[in-house]
Structures are given as structure tokens and as C-alpha cells.
Amino acid sequence: MGEVRDIPGLADLWKLTTGDDRITVAVVDGLVDETHPAFPAGKPSQVRDVWPAGAAGAKAAHGTAVASVLFGRHDGPVMGVTPACRAISVPVFVERRRTSQLELARAIELAAEAGAHIINVSGGQLADAGEAEDVLTRAVRRCREQGVLIVAAAGNDGCLCDHVPATLEGVLAVGACDDAGRPLPISNFGPGSRRQGLLAPGQDIRVAVPGGGIATMTGTSLATPIVAGVAALLTCLQLRQGGKPDPLAVGELLRETADPCEPGTGPLDSLESAACLRHLNGTLNITKAVTAVTTSSSTSSAATPAGPDSPVDAGEPAVAPSCGALPPTGAPAGCDCTTGESFIPTTAPSAPVPAPVVTPPPIPAGVVPSADEPQQAPPAAQRLVYALGTLGYDFGSEARRDSFKQLMPTVQVDGHSVPANPYDPRQMVAYLREHPSEARPLIWTLNLDLTPIYAIEPVGGYGPDVYERLTDFLERQLKAEDDAEFVDRVSIPGTLPGRTAKLFNGQYVPVVEVNLTRGLYGWSVASLAQAVMDCGVPEHNQRGHDHGTPLSDAVADFLQRIYYDLRNFGATSRDRALNYAATNAVQARETLAEALGHGMALQNIDVEKSPYGRPDSDCWDVKLRFFDPDNSKRAKRVYRFTIDVKDVLPVSIGQVRSWPEA
């Protein structure tokens, strides 16, 4: 194929638009060499404040190549599909290790928060029949609810297999074909990809590589940005026609206008039908898609984005299979940058002194590009965090672990002295009580279930107090669940300074700096529910009239819904408001009591930007929607309370409002 301008129909589309800076396209991939002459000045801007450092290698080559197919300027060495759109890059693929689905989910959420209309993910992970990890499924679902289109590679394993996130509901999966529209042998064609995917050119695509060089590359990773770029251009056409951008509708339109595989009617028909499986829904047809957009006064999404009442959330889970494929021997499990892609160096851009041709190393399979050393974000750009989870600790290295083992006192077991075990939290707590300063060398972690998502770093004058409180929480997590002091959740308020910590298992997690004890709470569901009961709820409201549901159980259900159904990283304004609603559950006690007193049950919890707010505020409305389980015709009841998340510690403002909803 060579240049993307040779793709049928693209040159004619460029006559209508080469992009619009009101439409944002995000590349969730490896580090991008933004100094490459292929890119317009200032593109892509990079969201790099929470990602680990990494040497510029195969993952950076992958990220630069993918970004150049999207954003390469038309007067430069590599022509991109949509150079005039706003471009952002979220580096998530890291050299010498595979990216976890949790990290990929975090990157997708960051891209959406940065205003992306379309997110390109040229990678993923093979999946058995089943679901992707919950955190990735929810990140994709949230994008769908916000109208953000994710375009993801089907994978380069050449098998009848699925690849997440490409096969998650609402994602546009992309396989690769040659110039004649024949599927490449390496392109995956599992049932999920066939249901919601299409083919696009992916053979010998001209790309930029770090250092100013140029190469050709083959694989689904290159077909994906071609489709994402075309989707962006069609969304720009929607704007040009005076319509509202609807990337999800564009994604559906691309599937509908794809040229289907048409088997013959001869004796080889069955073989030809089997071969058509590799064509997914068909092959990208830009001309038909442009005609569909330009001849339509408006384009609406074929499927309404799933909201709290949408049937998407009921019944069976979305189609995402869980990660079940084993990585190569000795490699850690996780996502990769799609196997089978290869670079072929061609020429370097012209310059007064000819630049050397850069030949990057081959790209390994999967979703794994990396980042350079993150730049320190200025205080004004620091991101706030209010996250919920469980507390843990890590050593980071064998040397640090062994230093604790040597310093901790021996333990008496059946009259014998045995070496201390630094992994035993009871022994660690006892040691920290005697030596409080030793809390500083530990890497304190906040975990979702058993997965660390942040490293907690106390700073400032209150640092010793924060360490003391963390030690206290760790000790209380070890108590029996019926103990009044038992803790199974903690809240962590802080800022992201743009640094990461490397854990013992090689995982990098963003550092959260905590400089105050205010908002640093620990509790259990049962104790917090009882605390709500002890706040003076009228006796006649402590039990539902019709169903006898104790208010304490309703509060516990409310908290569990946030912890499990709505768990998050606590880094977006929306999530900080939701998490604070859980911490400040007393705020909702009268709401729950009133609704239950009328025989209603909690249906869902929603968060949306508040239309009202104080000057220089960031206010969000947390809405609790209740329904009558015995009378579907009865109006629902909505209760809303507003939370301002402008500061490190969110705060509730105003009174709880309530209204009926048909």
C-alpha cells in the first residue's frame, strides 16, 4: 500500500476535510516521538503525568508509527489520515513488560477525560470465552455512555480468536487486509471481531519511526488508525453540516457501509464461505461511508448509549472475553501490541544533512508501548485523586525486603526463634509501632481487590501523622469482621505529581502524594451502615413499610454498589464525587430512609456535571434513583445531592433535592 493517500476514496474525502480541531483523537499506545518532522507543530500533545519511565525502544517505535498514520502532516515525510484534528497521546505500553488490563483501562479513561471523541487502541490481549477484567469492561462502557468511539485492533495471531478490548461491546474492531482487500493471514477473525469489526488496509503502510526515520509496517496496528482517522473525518463532516458529532453513529455507519465478502455459488461455495469468516463484517469503503454522511441531514447512533436504565446493563455481561492466553515463556501476563507486525525501513526525511535511516527493533505481540521519563507537572496541572480501596505495602526490590527482614526482631514459634517474615502484616505492624520512621522506606499501596493502583507517599509537615494513620489502618484490616474497629475500606485524598513507583513484581503505579490527614478515613461497610443508623433516623423510617428492609442493609447495599459495580481510580472529577458520596454516606441517610419508608428500592447511582456551581468550583450531582419493585407503573423517585471536587478533599454543598420521574 505505501502511502495512506492511495487508499481508495481517501483523497476525495480529503477534498471535503482533513480534520477539525474541535474533534479530538487519542492514541493509547507507546511513547510518541513528537519531535519527528512527520507531525504538525504541537501534535500530538501527550498525557504523561501518571506513566512510568521507559527507554525509547520497540514500544516507542510502535506508538510513533501509529500516531503518524493518524496525524502525519500532508507536506511532511509521512501523510496521516487526519492531520487537522486535535491530537493527544496517552503512553501506556512499557518496554520489557506487558501492560495490564487495569493500566489500559486507566489510559482509556484518561483519554476520554481529556476530551477524546475517538480513541485508537492498536493492541490488546487474547481472551478465552468469557469477559475482560471488570475494570476494562467498565472503562469501555463509560466511553460508550459518553458517546466516545473506541477503535481497537483485532490482533495479529492469525487465529479464530478474540482480542480485548476489540471485542468489547461498542468497540469497533479492525482487522487488516492487503491492497486487493484480501485478509492478511496474521489478522484475527474471532466471533467478537466478526460481529463488530471490519477490515482495512494494513500491509506495508508508510510510517514514522523515532529519530526522524521512515519505515513501512504491516499489521492490524496500522489498519486501526486508518479506520480511526476516517471515523474522525466523518465526524468532522457531521460538524460541517451543522450537526452534533456522533462518533458512535459513525462507527456503526462504517460497519454498515463496509463491502461484504460474497462467496460464489459453485462447488467451492462452502470453502469460500469459510474464507469469508476472515473478512469480518466486510472491508472499509470510504466512498460509501462519505456518501451516507453527506446525503443525510443527521446521523444518529444505531444503539442509544447505555445509561443506567439501558437493557445493556441487565442480563448477560458484554461480550468481552477474559485474558486467558498464556504469554511467551518467561514473559509476564498482560496486554501486548498485537503480534506479527514488522517494520521495513525505507528512507529518512530530507534535510540539509541526510538523516540516517532508523531501523527500529521488531514489535512484540500485544498492547505494550512505553514512555520516557515523565515530566514534572506544574502545580496548576496536578491531578487530584480521591480513591477508595484497601491498604497494602510493597518493598520494591529484594534488597529493601531483606533489609526489613534483618532489622525486624525474630519470632518465637513453639519455643524456637525464627527469622522475621516482612510479608506478615501483623509482624510488620508490630515493628512499625516500635520504629515509626521505618514506615517511610515501605511503598504503601492502595489496592482494588488485590491489584495495586497507587503508591501512597505522605509529604509535608503532616507526613508522620499520615504514616501513623496508614499503620493504624493496616492493623485494623487484620481484625475480625465483627470487631468494631475492623476496616475493609480506606479513602485516600491526594495529588498526582507525575511520578511512578516500581513494585517488587515489576509493575509501575502512579504515586499519590498525601499531605493532610483530613479525608484519610478507614471504615467497614457494617460499621458505617450502623453509624448512619445512629445519626438519629426516625424509628418509623428505619424499616420499609412494605418490605421490611432495614435501613442499615440499604446503606450497605448503597456502599457495596459503589465499591464493586462502580469502582474506579478516583482520578476524574466524576469519580471523586462518587467516591466521596460513599465516604460521606451519612449525607444519604435521610434519602434512603424516606425512599424505603415508601416501599421503594435503590435502582442505580448516577453522576453528572451539575448545571449549577459556585465560582471557581467543580460541582457534580450524585443521583440516587429508586423504584417500586412491586409496581412498575409507579413513578421512580430521584434524589440529588451536589458535591464540589475542586479541592483535594471534596465537600457537599446545598440541600438534597428530590423529584418524581416517569
Q: DSSP secondary structure string, 464-494?
A: HHHHHHHHHHHHHTTS-TTSTT---EEEEEE
187 among known catalytic residues: no
Cell readout for 454 is 497507587
Q: Please report where in the chains the cell 496521516 appears, as a residue.
A: 80
CB atoms inside a 10 Å sphere around CB 605:
19
Catalytic residue among 20, 36, 62, 644: 62
Helices 425-434 & 463-476, crossing angle to 10 degrees? 140
List strands edge to edge, sheet with 118-121. Answer: 45-46, 86-91, 24-29, 118-121, 149-153, 172-177, 197-201
Q: Is 29 considered catalytic here?
A: yes
Contact assessment for residue 183 and residue 333, using Cβ atoms and an 8 Å cutoff: no
Find the farthest-apart pair of alpha carbons in the chain and give their distance in angstroms, rounded.
86
Residues 6+ apart with CB under 8 A from 608: 574, 620, 621, 623
Catalytic, out of 20, 29, 621, 644: 29
What are 48's three cell numbers?
504523561
Residue 652 grid cell: 457537599
Alpha-carbon torsion (130, 134, 140, 146), positive or negative: positive
| DSSP SS3 for 33 | coil
Grid coordinates belonging to 293: 454522511
From the list 655, 538, 527, the residue with the least C-alpha distance to 588 is 655
The three three-digit cell numbers of residue 328, written as one number: 511467551
Cα–Cα distance for residue pair 97/57, rounded to 1 Å: 12
Give dist(CA 33, CA 231) in Å, integer.
24
* Sheet bearing 619-627, strands edge to edge: 601-609, 619-627, 636-644, 651-661
Q: Please write down the HEC assignment for all residues of 204-237.
A: CEEEEECCCEEEEEECHHHHHHHHHHHHHHHHHH
Contact yes or no for 58/362 (Cβ under 8 A): yes
Q: Are strands 443-448 and 383-394 parallel, antiparallel or unpaired?
A: antiparallel
Q: Are 289 and 237 in contact (CB under 8 A)?
A: no
Instruction: Report the first-to-last Cα separation within the chain, whole angstroms.
Output: 55
Identity of the residue numbered 124: G
Three-state DSSP class for 7? coil
Neighbours of 274 (CB within 10 A): 10
Closest by CA position to 250, among listed 191, 219, 296? 296
Burial class of residue 357, CB neighbours in 10 A (0-12, 13-18, 19+): middle
Backbone angles phi and psi of 149, in degrees to 5: -95, 125
DSSP letters along 260-280, please?
PP---SSTTHHHHHHHHGGGT
The answer to whether 117 is a known catalytic residue is no
Residue with cell 531483606: 402
DSSP state of 320: P
CA distance 337 to 341: 9
Q: Which helix (H) or strand (E) holds 532?
A: helix 525-533
Annotated catalytic residue, options 221, 301, 491, 524: 221
Question: What are the distances in angstroms from CA 515 to CA 301, 459, 611, 643?
Answer: 46, 5, 31, 22
Residue 593: in which H helix or E strand, if any?
helix 589-597
Residues that are catalytic: 29, 62, 221
